[in-house]
Amino acid sequence: MSTQPRITGNRKKLAMAVAVVSILFLWQVAAWMLPDFLMPDVWTVFARLIEEIPSADFRAELAGSLTRLGFGYGAALLLGIGFGLIGGVLFFFREVLKSAIIILQSIPSIAWVPLFLILMGFGNLPIIVVVALAAFFPAALSVMNATESVLKVHVSAARVMGASRLALLRRVYLPAVMPELITGAQLAFGNAWRALISAEMLIGFGQGLGRALAYAGETADMVGVMTNILVIAILATLIDLVLLENLKRRVLRYQYV
């Protein structure tokens, strides 16, 4: 078996390690140059994080953010994949949806928060909707773009054999767009995560990582600010590079053989 995938994986791990060390080093340099109340050093922040991990408040903040992310991101993937596949067999629908996405995705996700607050009131729902909206666009667009590259001969052969539109979606389009679908899901996660933290900071409802970050800033607790930023970065990296990347490898296993 070829050793190329293993070498590539080792290089990725090395690149990630270098990136992490570089970020921590620049952070520490900034802490040396600035007063403690403006920029705490790396060790102080890590010590605060170790103290907070066992606390009930930290677990509540983590659970609140992950729950909102799960509902919003999950809904976005289901709708994005569904609408994207439908666009594969309905040309006019695809063009209309693609045009709408091009227009709407230019609006920052956080700009929708005031509207959703007025329509839905304070609570989890407006945050979940903002997250879903942010993740929907890349998910749907990646699937629709992938459907355009499906070989026409495969579609024609399926139609000659009497395949319905539903069968075309399930047996022709879905397997063909799977690589782009997984990539779109990773892009959608990045959008969803940023929208989640921003919405929690702005709305300030319940417990969540974004709300904890905003509160630390309001109270001028710079150690708390950097601790929350660190948690947000670590969690996003774990979800993206561990959970989603492993899922990608399992779904697209034939590409890594």
- Give tens-digit pLDDT for 134-164: 999 888 888 887 776 665 545 555 555 656 6
Sequence-separated (6 or more) residues with CB below 8 Å from residue 3: none
Structure-token match 């170790």, residue found: 50
Structural Rg of the chain based on CA atoms = 22
Mean pLDDT of the chain: 81
Stretch among 4-13, 57-66, 102-111 having the lowest mean pLDDT: 4-13
Percent pLDDT > 70 in the chain is: 81
**Six token digits for residue 184:** 């779109």
Mean pLDDT is lowest, of 124-128, 235-239, 252-256, for: 252-256
Long-range contacts, 170-178 (Cβ 8 Å, 24+): 173/85, 173/88, 173/89, 173/147, 174/85, 176/146, 176/147, 176/149, 176/150, 176/151, 177/84, 177/85, 177/88, 177/143, 177/146, 177/147, 177/150, 178/251, 178/252
Residue 238, pLDDT above cutoff 50: yes
Helix (H) or strand (E) holding 68: helix 56-89
Checking if the pLDDT of 1 tops 50, the result is: no
The DSSP code for 173 is: I
Q: Express as a percent the part of the chain with pLDDT over 90.
A: 19
Residue 128 has pLDDT above 60, yes or no: yes
For 6-10, 31-35, 225-229, which range has the lowest pLDDT when averaged over its residues?
A: 6-10
Cβ neighbours of residue 196 closer than 8 Å, sequence gap 6 or more: 65, 68, 69, 72, 127, 130, 131, 208, 210
Q: Is the pLDDT of residue 71 over 90?
A: yes
How crowded is residue 173: how many other Cβ atoms within 10 Å of its Cβ?
A: 24
The answer to whether 144 and 88 are in contact (CB under 8 A) is: yes
* Residue burial 17-30, b: 16+ Cβ < 10 Å; e: rest: eeeeeeeeeebeee
pLDDT at residue 193 in the model = 92
- Residue 149: predicted pLDDT: 66
Average pLDDT on 188-209 reads: 86
Res 256: pLDDT? 44
Does the structure show a pLDDT above 50 at 204? yes
pLDDT at position 166: 64
* Confidence bin at 93 (pLDDT 50/70/90): confident
pLDDT surpasses 80 at 172: no
The dihedral built from the CA positions of residue 109, 113, 116 and 120, taken in this order, carries a sign that is positive
Q: Which residues contact 131 (CB under 8 A, 6 or more apart)?
A: 68, 69, 71, 72, 73, 76, 109, 192, 195, 196, 199
What confidence score (pLDDT) does residue 111 get? 87
- The stretch 112-135 carries a mean pLDDT of 88
